[in-house]
Amino acid sequence: MRPGIYLDFNAGAPVRPEAVEAVTAAMAQVGNPSSVHGAGRAARALLESARTDVAALVGGPASTVVFTSGGTEANALAIESAVAAGSRRLIISAIEHDSVIEAARASGVVVDVLPVDRHGIADLDWLAARLSDHEPTDGRPFVALMAANNETGVIQPVLEASELVRAHNGWLHVDAVQAAGRLAMDSRSVQADTYAVSAHKLGGPQGVGALTFGPRASLVRRQHGGGQERGRRAGTENLPGIAGFAAAARAALRDRDDNRAWRDGAVADLKAGGAIVIGEAARRLDGTLCLAFPGFPAERQVMALDLAGVMVSAGAACSSGKVKASHVLLAMGLDDLAGCAIRVSGGWSTTAKDWAGFVEAWQAMTSSYTARRASAA
């Protein structure tokens, strides 16, 4: 096994060469996009060209794309906008990213949790019943259902959910941070009212994302100050980051990786060694594998693999380095596995050797762990 195997794309993908080149060129660009002189107009042209490229990724006119600092801010903007528009009860799926869950909890309105089944798929019968019981005094129904889960890779029935939400004149928000550039899906195909994406998941720079909105959604001002982003987010735009985002979006739409075959090829060896594959019966992102080894704490697995030169994660990588039982697996009813599951995720630069190297390291790790337990017993 060769060292330095990176299989944590769901936390952040390596930056694509096209994005590096675009960021470098934009950093040499003189001028503020809001200035009216020649340099400012050139910067504005670059900004709007990038907006068009990101619009192609997310679906919808470029005029509906609002650049943000990332997926977290995009999710918050959608939720804050729905509450400002009168929603007094939010329906949030149990497997949402923490940026959605915490924004909903901080909103000051009632939050209902949309359950999932044992495969990690949203319960649409529950959603239909809840929407039918929605009280007019609670304002317009708001539903947040991610396109694909960041931990398990399980793809959600967002189009079917959208049809239910639209039948009740509701607002569907889709966190597509993991799906963008990986699935043939955009805001139009799933009829989402708001749709959030992030650059660094698909090979762009960190610190930039976007929210697109449809005609049934009305966005509030996220930051006060100047009139940037059509008055919705004040502050000079991160032009280098946005240019890199656009370059990564173009590359992601152009290229498709081969991770599904490599991932599925690894599963037989992993299961033979005692691994339990989470969400195996559901449709998943091609490059995502969530697996548990009963009794082996996730944080110890991550550390052992890291020492072997393989970088993976335990659930989401957005909790300041903390490792805790996965709320996603708990929602799936997998309480006994929630603290011993790791996530392996590849992407645009992953190779077959990377997956094979992970399998080799995992087998050595679990064999050693099993032997130590047997000896202790």
Residues annotated as catalytic (active site), given as ranges = 318
285/152 Cα distance (integer angstroms): 8
CB-based contact 212:230 (threshold 8 Å): no
Considering only CA atoms, which of 219, 232, 213 is closest in space to residue 81? 219
Considering only CA atoms, which of 160, 86, 171, 83 is closest in space to residue 128? 160
Question: Which amino acid is residue 144, in one-letter code?
Answer: A
Give the other-Cβ count within 10 Å of 322's Cβ: 9
Beta carbons within 8 Å of 295's beta carbon, 6+ residues apart: 340, 373
Beta carbons within 8 Å of 260's beta carbon, 6+ residues apart: 286, 287
Rama region for 229: left / alpha / beta (φ>0; ψ in -120 to 50; rest): left
Considering only CA atoms, which of 145, 113, 155 is closest in space to residue 281? 155
223/58 Cα distance (integer angstroms): 23
361/254 Cα distance (integer angstroms): 33
Tokens at residue 344, please? 């392996």
36/33 Cα distance (integer angstroms): 8
Query: Integer distance in angstroms from the first to the last C-alpha of the chain?
Result: 31
352/257 Cα distance (integer angstroms): 11
- For residue 317, what is the DSSP state? S
Inter-CA distances, 196 with 29, 61, 115, Å: 27, 15, 21
